[in-house]
Amino acid sequence: VQTCALPIYEKKVAPAILATYPGTWIEQPKYWRTAARVIDISVEDGVLYADLDGRGKTRLSALSDTNFTGIQGGVDFVPKGAGQPPDMFIRHVSGNYRFARKP
């Protein structure tokens, strides 16, 4: 597991909210590579982890219920509505990359 320096403030996110994030997320649409990037999001012991393209799990630190640091410029989950999976965005200096959960 890769680690990074934790922010001064890390929010405790409710397990019910964290449970909406795990899964395999695929870049929409693929941008600069021949294949879209894939991120596997998992929860272990109340902590969110991201594995970008099979590089290994990286701990994500919560700044809010939907905003996390740890990879690239951060990860944002954007709720769409009741019963629908959220959208996920990876923040990057070149612009935000959208990911959709693999069905």
Contact 16, 88 (CB under 8 A): no
pLDDT tens digit string along 9-25? 789 999 999 999 999 99
DSSP string, 15-26: HHHHTTS-EEEE
CA-based angle 45:64:74, to the nearest 5?
85
Contacts of 99 by beta carbon, 8 Å cutoff, 6+ apart: 25, 26, 27, 28, 37, 39, 87, 88, 89, 90
Highest mean pLDDT among 31-40, 78-87, 91-100: 91-100
**Predicted TM-score of the model (pTM):** 0.83
pLDDT tens digit string along 30-75? 666 678 899 999 999 999 999 999 999 999 999 999 999 998 889 9
